[in-house]
Amino acid sequence: MVNTKINLLNTVIDNPVIPASGTFGFGYEFAELYDINILGTFSFKGTTKESRFGNPTPRIAECKSGMINSVGLQNPGVEKVINEELPKLKKVFNKPVMANVSGFSLDEYAYTCEKIDACEQVAWIEVNVSCPNVHNGGMAFGTSPESAAKVVKAVKAVTSKPIIIKLSPNVTDIVTIAKACEDAGADGISLINTLLGMRIDIKTRKPVIANKMGGFSGDAVFPVALRMVYQVYEAVKIPVIGMGGVSGVNDVIEMMLAGASAVQIGAANLVNPFICKEIIERLPGKLEELKINDINEIIGGAH
């Protein structure tokens, strides 16, 4: 019998397959399609202090081997997430869940993380540092080691649960930023978020996305994501969660060989809502085929 269980920051989960934030809502939508309790866990929709309507439409553009989105963190705000969304989730999901938090200032990150930290259902807090810092000219927190470290310190000061920092790939040196997060007290690193991309309508001669640019995700980004996971695994001692273009069981194994302790599936959920279920069902057979008895053996196996 192949072991697919992993210990993710002191919580044992049945397998390393985790739907990524923004592609799985608050879970109960997918629970209408299959029993989502087969998942290791999932990262719920990015949550901010206040409710957000998101960016103007159109905010989705199809691409070869992927998609661009500029949804803009549309969510009901942390109070409604805690009082309405999580109770609805509890009816269909009996495992600990991963919260995903965004903010536009250090105070917002700290406020939202402190509120989420008190939720019994939440085992891990994934902090998205790809947001623009409104007090620093709009540059994303995750594009400099100093800014990313400040976010880590701000949220660690008000939380007791493991903090996983989700990094942007839109940087020249992902390793320096990951190390700065580790040094500031982060418990784990999650990567990658989307790459910046755009499409232009050749008839109107205007960008397809109302915001002109958005986050590019899907199959095409997998080699970039894999490279960054590999680099960060070599540089830090804390767990790495890999994501970016993962759409099949082989991708999950490849990500783990690069150094991921767990693997998130994002855009593929929007193409095939059953993809996580299919990967979880195929995983034991694929491990047996590769003569792997315990999935933990392959973490970082390519180094």
What is the average per-residue pLDDT within 275-282?
98
Structural domains counted in the chain: 1
Q: Is the pLDDT of residue 53 over 90?
A: yes
Mean pLDDT of the chain, nearest integer: 96
| Residue 182 covered by a domain | yes
User: How many CB atoms within 10 Å of residue 72?
Assistant: 16
**Is 63 labeled as catalytic in the residue annotation?**
no
Between CA 147 and CA 150 the distance in angstroms is: 5
| Residue 200 covered by a domain | yes
| Residue 19 covered by a domain | yes
Q: Per-residue pLDDT tens for 95-109?
A: 999 999 999 999 999
Q: Per-residue pLDDT tens for 242-276?
A: 999 999 999 999 999 999 999 999 999 999 999 99
Parent domain of 20:
6-298
What is the average per-residue pLDDT within 127-143?
82
| Residue 1 covered by a domain | no
| Residue 161 covered by a domain | yes
Which of 63, 119, 131, 276 is an active site residue?
131
pLDDT on residue 161: 98
| Residue 94 covered by a domain | yes
The pLDDT confidence band at residue 136, using thresholds 50, 70 and 90, is: confident
pLDDT on residue 1: 87
For residue 192, whether the previous peptide bond is cis, meaning omega lies within 30 degrees of 0, is yes
| Residue 152 covered by a domain | yes
The CATH number covering residue 118 comes to 3.20.20.70
Between CA 106 and CA 96 the distance in angstroms is: 26
Least confident range of 34-38, 46-50, 137-141, 270-274: 137-141
Q: Per-residue pLDDT tens for 74-98?
A: 999 999 999 999 999 999 999 999 9
**What pTM does this model have?**
0.96
